[in-house]
Amino acid sequence: MYEHPEFGFTDVKVGADAVLGGIGQGLELTRDWFTEERLMIGARTIGAAERALELAVDWAKTRVQGGTRIFDHQLIQGMIADSVAEIAVNRALTHQVAWEFDQADPADLARRKTLHAKAATVKLAASEASNRIADRAVQILGGRGYMRENAVERLWRELRVDRIWEGTSEIQRVVIANEVDKRGLSGVLGFSGVTETEQSWARIPALAL
Ligand SMILES: Cc1cc2nc3c(=O)[nH]c(=O)nc-3n(C[C@H](O)[C@H](O)[C@H](O)COP(=O)(O)OP(=O)(O)OC[C@H]3O[C@@H](n4cnc5c(N)ncnc54)[C@H](O)[C@@H]3O)c2cc1C
């Protein structure tokens, strides 16, 4: 279990060799941490959403109401299809931005700032989507979905905090809009880390589909 320890410092002196990053660059370190952690939240929330959807699909295929599987109702199918689409899109975006983060030159400050906004995009999109998906999973299980012995209840309850911690959804929107204002749309919407030639090659399989 995670705990929150409290540290107190009195008259502590540290040498220059103990400075992390550079003097006056503490915010950059914080931003780098946010980038990593918000990517982890993207991965974790979408993983949890996938588990919730698995449980909902299993249930929908076996639960019979009015003589038919509830899976056969189009309104149930719509919830499942929307959840599949949201998981697929958010998982792909999380992989993309994590890959870009791995490729980034740590000395490129502007790039790090753009990646910070891209990680905010991942966190906002994935946490909001996973909350919708877990909510649908509870709905598909009906009354059982609200009961603690079913894991969808726990997933729904636990995913709620991901829209709050590590910066609320509102703060992610502020970070994203700030990036758009300062450096424009192309960075936050682009696929950085590959050359233009590599990008055009990357587009070919998509066009062939
Ligand atoms: C279980 C849990 C564990 C946590 N663990 C940690 C931890 O380990 N380390 C840590 O540092 N923090 C931790 N937090 C704190 C968490 O990061 C904060 O709760 C979160 O950032 C929101 O801050 P706040 O609670 O002060 O809400 P507030 O800042 O008071 O926000 C309240 C509401 O106002 C909105 N709001 C605030 N400012 C703006 C704005 N500029 N524009 C628009 N809307 C705004 C918010 O989006 C929210 O809806 C944890 C929180 C929880 C619930």
pLDDT of residue 4: 85
Pick the catalytic residue from 86, 153, 166, 179. 166
pLDDT of residue 24: 87
pLDDT of residue 28: 84
Residue 69, φ and ψ in degrees, nearest 5: -60, 140
Beta-bridge partners for 68: 65
CA atoms of 55 and 13, how far apart (whole Å): 54
Type of residue found at 137: A
Centroid of ligand 1 to alpha carbon of 163 (angstroms):
9
- Which CATH topology does 25-186 take? Butyryl-CoA Dehydrogenase, subunit A; domain 3 (1.20.140)
Type of residue found at 160: R
User: Per-residue pLDDT tens for 102-149?
Assistant: 999 988 989 999 999 999 999 999 999 999 999 999 999 999 999 999
pLDDT of residue 20: 83
**Which residues in the chain show pLDDT less than 50?**
207-209
* Ligand 1 contact, 168 CB (< 6 A): yes
pLDDT of residue 209: 43
* Ligand 1 contact, 177 CB (< 6 A): no
Q: Which atom of ligand 1 is nearest to the CA of 4?
A: 8
Q: Is 170 a known active-site residue?
A: no
Q: Which residue is closest in CA terms to ligand 1's atom 6? A: 165
Domain segments of the chain: what residues? Answer: 25-186
